[in-house]
Amino acid sequence: AQSVSQHNHHVILSEAASLELGCNYSYGGTVNLFWYVQYPGQHLQLLLKYFSGDPLVKGIKGFEAEFIKSKFSFNLRKPSVQWSDTAEYFCAVGHKLTFGGGTRVLVKP
């Protein structure tokens, strides 16, 4: 069975602040980890993914994530957020995706 959980349900921060969203997973098979973003009223867009190799993954829009096997974590980071990063962020695992509850991020201008 696979499961994933996100640490925070809501995050509020100011523009130019750094962002880190936590994600922990439990999965017995080959690890396929994803971060998706859902802007208000829009569909899910893939930010980045990890299957194997370099544990530091770079995605679109300046996001990156680090896979730490010993901690079963796949945290998402962005050094400096913009107002346009206001969205809901989902960590997901597996091939029939299981999502982690989502984190709503509000960036104040």
Partner 1 sequence: AAGVIQSPRHLIKEKRETATLKCYPIPRHDTVYWYQQGPGQDPQFLISFYEKMQSDKGSIPDRFSAQQFSDYHSELNMSSLELGDSALYFCASSSRGSSYEQYFGPGTRLTVT
* Residues within the interface to partner 1 (CB under 8 A): 32, 34, 36, 42-46, 49, 51, 90, 94-102
Q: Would you state the structure tokens that stand for residue 72, as one six-digit string? A: 């079963």
95 Cβ neighbours under 8 A, 6+ residues apart: 32
Nearer to partner 1 among residue 1 and residue 109 (C-beta): 1
Q: Could you tell me the smallest distance in angstroms from the CB atom of residue 18 to partner 1?
A: 26
Nearer to partner 1 among residue 74 and residue 90 (C-beta): 90
Task: Report the C-alpha gap between 26 and 9 in whole angstroms.
Answer: 19
Nearer to partner 1 among residue 18 and residue 45 (C-beta): 45
Residue 79: other Cβ atoms inside 10 A? 12
Nearer to partner 1 among residue 5 and residue 14 (C-beta): 5
Task: Report the C-alpha gap between 58 and 12 in whole angstroms.
Answer: 23
Task: Report the C-alpha gap between 1 and 58 in whole angstroms.
Answer: 28
